[in-house]
Amino acid sequence: MSTPPDGLDPVFAERYRAMCSRDSRFDGQFITGVHSTGIYCRPSCPAATPKPANVSFYLTSAAAHEAGLRACKRCLPDAVPGSPDWDIRDDLAARAMRLISDGTVERDGVPGLARRLGYSERHLSRVLVSELGAGPLALARAHRAQTARLLLSRTDVPITEVAFAAGFGSVRQFNDTIVAVYERTPTELRRSRSIGRQSLRGDEDVRAGGGGGIGTGIDLQLPARAPFDGVGVLRFLAARSLAGVEQATDVRYARTLRLPAGPATVELTLSGTVDAPAVACRARLTSLADLAPLVSRVRRLLDLDADSRAIDLALGRDPHLAAGVAATPGIRVPGSMDPEETLFRALIGQQVSVASARTALTRLAAALGDELFPGAGDGLFPGAGDGGSTPGPAPLTRLFPTAERIAAEGRGVLRGPAARIDAIIRVAEALNSGALVLSYGQTREDLESRLTALAGIGPWTAGYVALRVLGSPDILLTTDLALRQGAGRLGLPGEARQLGRHGAAWAPWRSYAGMHLWRAAFRPVVGQIA
């Protein structure tokens, strides 16, 4: 991605101007490699501006590593929001990046990554090197290095344990990678605890309860791309929170979840400033190896990497949306921390009110959800009242039910039309048997076609799941009653086809336009949002 110093390449010229202006809006969207110093930086790095002939731009830190560059100690280019490209794009490279950030290579290796994407290892490597400047191993290695830096600089976890928690196969590989990327040994990074914009603290291990499991407490700050409507996305989650599984307010969200190494709990609180928003994340993990997947899924849930300025600029051109965009800059599309759970929520929430769906899902979780940590009592985040007579929220004690439990026992708990219950049980059986697989690495077309092939799942459910699970930015659910009510209140067509035709001008940001329409509907009596 380098260019001659004559600056004829318009992409290079645009990025060089952003770098010269130290524009933080581009942090995480590309990386500046400075060959005269041998380092790579975020675009907003305050260091002296290098000459064009000495600069190359990269889409990933792994590509900069492959070019022989090391991370800048001053600006820490990996401590920024991630690139929004991996959700905007639906090609092989983007889908691979979504899975790599979720730790697939650490769990399944490159062969497992290739299988999940449906390509050979050779073809996958060829595409990633061509488009991103680095192969899957190099991309995963960069991801491990970032996780290791956080653990080294912000915890007391023994260095050997950090190596394996970050996903390295050996201590030697870990040492070599850290030196190559940061030009410091792991011990030197451990000593430099004051560096970095992200703070991370590892609490002492505590016994999680009856099964003899061990939980590790972690606190960290996750940067968001400004502007960030954090209150709005937390309100969305709060309206759908399930007692025992979730707690939520306008500024805080906590929940239980399953991660690859075991159950976990996470508490998210809005922090930072308007210009530099962030989310404080407190988690308790069965294993530190789950740190990277946890961070990836939290970022997806809150849509922290969205290019909100570009989205607002595009949607604000429509006079029907302009007032809403001005009133709520940085609106987000809530994502998913568990694709299977999101599908069940969508199925149970079809054509009923949000309150009714919440009641049904809470009953299902109470009946079939596994106890979080057997014998742990009130869970990680017991409810806290206001200090007076108002009780706090129910403590986190249960995990959302598995497909296996729903398939085996769901008929005794689910209520409603027999056809809907049959559809839910069929989906649970398909998920449990492996006949249906949901993955962050799927294309939108593949995910929607697999879902609509099952009896009882229509276009709305498939589109909604793609919206939440994949973070697809360009889905407008025109058949949704609440969304059409909101459109009518903004003077837009309330009929699905007409709304779809008008909404074509919102591409490629129709998912975000839909959030504005849902917001305009306030609290509809009936909706389809699960």
72 among known catalytic residues: no
Per the CB < 8 A criterion, the answer to whether 197 and 81 are in contact is: no
Between vectors from CA 74 to CA 68 and to CA 78, what angle results, nearest 5°?
65
Q: How far apart are CA 249 and CA 266, in angstroms?
A: 14
20 among known catalytic residues: no
Closest by alpha carbon to 530, among 392, 433, 398, 400?
Answer: 400
Between vectors from CA 157 to CA 155 and to CA 163, what angle results, nearest 5°?
110
Q: How far apart are CA 142 and CA 177, in angstroms?
A: 9
CB atoms within 10 A of CB 525: 10
Closest by alpha carbon to 247, among 115, 85, 453, 391?
Answer: 391
Extract the tokens encoding 65. 């590593």
Q: Which of 41, 45, 72, 75 is catalytic?
A: 41
Q: How far apart are CA 209 and CA 213, in angstroms?
A: 6
Q: How far apart are CA 465 and CA 92, in angstroms?
A: 20
Q: How far apart are CA 267 and CA 483, in angstroms?
A: 30
> Residue 32, SS3?
strand
**Residue pointed to by tokens 């329409």:** 517
CB atoms within 10 A of CB 275: 8
> Residue 27, SS3?
strand
Q: Which of 27, 303, 338, 480 is catalytic?
A: 480
Side-chain half-sphere exposure of 474, counting CA atoms within 13 A: 13
Catalytic residues: 41, 480
